Structure 1
């Protein structure tokens, strides 16, 4: 489990093909790896992956072809990625509860300055629209953000200077693809009030 508060920006230093997908060697930037062990989880651009090796200020993860098919940004050698270690039960929840399981890939429609901040509009897969609410939470490339507005199949958020400075979001351009994870509470609400909990729908 994660919070969507990015702890460091890393670099995809090496990418190697494997039968099952890719092996990524990641330079962690300012992320402290002293308390990280093999088997631990780290969110990389919002994707929860398992550390398979640690060596020389670098860590490695394996990415399956299935994960590659439904996410964005994990196959670009030299690319920058947002990093967050899995939260402890004693940690502050500065963002919102994030699972690290990407729900879909969105597309940047506009990214424009607004005073000292930036307005970011993202086109969303239609299947995710029902989970996105004004003033609700959403995760974009691993960053916990608040939805400011919704229009059609797009939502808009405001990025403050601090967020731009400590994440990769400042490099976004129109047409860029981003990993999205909707608020998990919205999914549980749907499950509770939808047909999924109707006994007649079972069997």
Structure 2
């Protein structure tokens, strides 16, 4: 489990193909590697990956074809910077929100507007994720825990302060940048719970806007 509070920016040192999988090695930057062990999890641009090799300034992970399919790893190159967060400990401050490191899909940056003290970023999510994105709800973008400030269909808007831009790779975004998205896990559990006894028989979700209205969840 992670919090979405980025600890460091790393840099991709190598991407080596092993059939359908990739061995990824990341220069860990200022990430504290002193307590990292084999088998630990490090969220890399929001993707929970298992450490298979490491040193004082790097770690390596294997990225499966399934992960490549649903994340931006197919578009990464040597030298690209990535957001890093080690798995949270029981005595860690919970400053963000519950982040599993299981990316739901790729979003695309639609626009960036500079407002001097912050920037306004609009991201287009896949249509299938739109129902999980709520005004003032939480969303994870490339591993960063952020608050949704406005929603229009499958697009949502973020306000980003200078600290976030400096400490994460979001400061490098431009129109068309593809980003890893993880929706709030609470929304997914709520959807499943609302199916009730039908959950065991359902092959796909029956939750829709009309279903929510009919059951008193919308006014």
* Structure 2: tracts of 5 or more residues without a match: 204-219
Cα 1:173–1:201 change in 2 (3 A) is same
Change (3 A) 1:53 1:136: same
Provide the alpha-carbon RMSD of the alignment. Answer: 1.6
The answer for unaligned runs of 5 or more in structure 1 is none
Structure 2 counterparts to residues 107-122 of structure 1, below 5 A: 107-122=108-123
What corresponds to 2:164 in structure 1? 163
1:70-81 alignment to 2 at 5 Å?
70-73=70-73, 75-81=76-82
- Cα deviation, 1:118-176, whole Å, max 9, x if unaligned, reads 00100011110110100000000000000000012210010011100100000000011
CA shift for structure 1 position 200: 7.0
**Which is richer in strand?**
1
Aligned mates of 2:185, 2:166 — CA distance in 1: 27
State the match for 1:51 in structure 2. 51
- Note closer, same or farther for the CA distance 1:38–1:198 as it changes in structure 2 (3 Å cut): same
1:29-69 deviation digits (Å, cap 9, x = unpaired): 00000000010000000000000001352110010111111
Q: Are residues 56 and 90 of structure 1, via their aligned partners in 2, closer, same or farther at CA, if it must alter by over 3 Å?
A: closer
Structure 1 residues 162-197: Cα deviation after superposition (integer angstroms, max 9, x where no partner): 1001000000000110000000001011111126x4
TM-score normalised to the size of structure 1?
0.95
Alpha-carbon distance in 2 for matches of 1:122, 1:199: 31
Aligned positions of 1:37-186 closer than 5 A = 37-55=37-55, 57-73=57-73, 75-186=76-187
- Could you list the structure 1 runs, at least 4 aligned residues long, displaced by more than 3 angstroms after superposition: none
Contact kept, 8 Å, 1:45 with 1:73, in 2: the verdict is no
Q: TM-score, normalised by structure 2?
A: 0.88
